[in-house]
Structure 1
Amino acid sequence: MGHTTRRVRSSRVEIAPNAVDAEVLLEWYGATARDLPWRRAGVTAWQILMSEIMLQQTPVVRVEPIWREWVARWPVPSAMAAATPAEVLRAWGKLGYPRRALRLHECARVLATEHGDEVPTDVDVLLGLPGIGAYTARAVACFAYGQRVPVVDTNVRRVVARAVHGRAEAGNPSSRDLPETEALLPQRIDHAAVFSAALMELGATICTARNPDCTRCPLPRCAWIAAGRPVGETVRRTQKYEGTDRQARGRLLDVLRDATGPVERFRLDLAWTRDIGQRDRALDSLLVDGLIEQTPDGLFALAGEGRLSEGS
């Protein structure tokens, strides 16, 4: 695979480039990788960017049908840029964290006006786009353009923690994550991009957080297994949704997504009656986030739709 002997030193351990057997992992990925639509030939960088934004904190099964709809509706950035923020928010549906949809809409406008309707290839340029953070920039550079850049998400960090460091859990994100992951990448650029996808796939499907299926793991060496699978220190708690501010925000947004224009305040009040203070807090946060707006006559609407009531 053309490995070098370069090592990246961290505060805890040196990472040998063959600490994860790249050849074995690539062979496993080629034989077992999930057939996800954004991995197929012919998918553009813009469409991969949309998938990466949608997949943040959202399962594949929920993302796939919405992504397909968006690819058909907005195949290029300028198509989305021509839509209103409200149209994008409605199309986002219940994927969660709807600010992602607004930021992607802003990004589409910048791509259409400043980048010739193309997604840049350079990580630093990508980082300058609205809503694009370090992970997304590197993921696009890697998966859309095949660049040899480390792509580090929760799944990758967990695989590295176990296979390389012998720890059950990755712990908090660290400045070591990128150089350690980069040290594992094959030198061949075309292999490096696939290797990044394979690491992610391994963490998502086998080396999972709660129930890792070590009997199916393709790696011939794993420091965690060698250490006897020591238990991590983190106490995992199921993140509740019922009764949270997030749920309240979602109920208020549902009212506005289902409406054809601005609505009166009482419609929103009826959507969340269990806690008036929480409802007011949720409404204020939606306004601050720019997801909704209030018209001069006191009605509420999705972003960009408040002006529909003016002059009516």
Structure 2
Amino acid sequence: MTAGSVEAERNAALLGWYRANQRVLPWRATTDPYAVLVAETMLQQTQAARVVPYYQSFLARFPDVTALAAAPFAAVAAAWSGLGYNRRARWLHRAAQRIAAAGWPDTVAGLEALPGVGGYTARAVAVFAFGHRDVTPDTNLKRVLSRWYGEPLAGSTLRRVGLAALDEDAASWNQAVMDLGNAICRPYDPACDRCPVERWCTGPDVYQRPATQSPFPGSVRQVRGVIVRLLIGGPLDETAFAAATNRFPTDQVEEALDGLIEDGLVVETEDGFAIAD
């Protein structure tokens, strides 16, 4: 059996499984680059099920890139509040302002030049909105392909192998790999007995699991979220700010606040702090 026939047979089995089992997610029903960019930004480090209501309410509030670009950042932060990693909202807002002024880039390099847009997000927008034939190198793709080919894959090697495995229908193939990784080719408990492509896979042992993230409760990330939610309600002077955050250790509050200011989410005022414009 030739390498090409292996890829063709595996892709046929994968896409057949995907058509019968794909997750119904609202951003998959559109090729609007703005909606795709919003979704992919929200999906960074956040589970899809948690993103869905935020995505829907965000697009209802800011239906296109012009509306988002014209909005004050405080309104954007309010719509984002509760989703976490609030710097993503700042990056998305800045990206929208650049797009509103200069138009949509339709190349991966042009998309990567937007604020906060990395290689994965740029390729996701290029594939799902602009129809490029490329791979979207998320953690699912890395895990699934590493197991298929029997070696840990990353970086340029992952992309090279992915492009060789890619189906002509790049958008469906990338979504199929994501869903396979989510439902069957899981990092800790893979359901190999239910996998539609098991016969073309070397097995689950080769995959190197990433380190787990520190718990959210009691972390600086939690304090950052609390500060953003406080300041969405309006500026606070230093006395009111200290009173509102005194349940957290002082060093955590200072680290969180410094990070928010450095990320452009919060600004110092004459007597306290406020959400940035």
Asked whether the two chains share a fold, i.e. TM above 0.5, the reply is: yes
Shift, 1:50, TM fit: 0.4
Q: Unaligned regions of 5+ residues in structure 1, if any?
A: 7-15, 305-312
What is aligned with 2:62? 74
Residue of structure 2 aligned with 1:160, choices 142, 145, 160: 145
* 2:39 aligned counterpart, secondary structure: helix
For the structure 1 residues 20 and 283, does the alpha-carbon distance in structure 2 shift closer, same or farther, using more than 3 Å as the test?
farther
Q: Counterpart of 2:122?
A: 137
Partner of 1:291: 265
- The correspondence of residues 21-170 of structure 1 with structure 2, limited to 5 A, is 21-40=10-29, 42-115=30-103, 119-165=104-150, 170=152
Deviates more, 1:233-242 or 1:100-109: 233-242
Shift of 1:233: 6.3
Deviation at 1:5, TM superposition (A): 5.9
Divergent runs of 4+, >4 A: 231-238
Residue 273, structure 1, aligned to residue 261, structure 2: no
Q: Deviations over 1:218-270 (max 9, x none)?
A: 11424333xxx53766585463122211112122222112x2x2111233223
Q: Which residue, out of 181, 196, 208, partners 2:174?
A: 196
Specify which structure has the higher proportion of helix: 2
**How far off its partner does 1:192 sit?**
2.3
Give the secondary structure class of the aligned counterpart of 2:190.
coil
**Which runs of 5 or more structure 2 residues have no equivalent in the other structure?**
none
Q: TM-score, normalised by structure 1?
A: 0.81
Deviation digits for residues 122-146 of structure 1, max 9, x if unmatched? 1121111111111111001111122
State the identity %.
Answer: 38
Match of 2:235 among 239, 257, 262: 262
Q: 1 CA distance for matches of 2:211 and 2:59? A: 36
| Partner-residue secondary structure (3-state), 1:175 | helix
8 Å CA contact 1:121, 1:145 repeated in 2: yes
Deviations 1:130-177 (A, max 9, x none): 111111110011111221111110001000111221x5xx47x43211
Amino acid of the structure 2 residue aligned with 1:299: G
Q: Distance in 2 between matches of 1:56 and 1:131?
A: 11
| Root mean square deviation, CA, Å | 2.2
Q: What is the aligned residue count?
A: 275
TM-score normalised over the length of structure 2: 0.91
Bigger radius of gyration among the two: 1
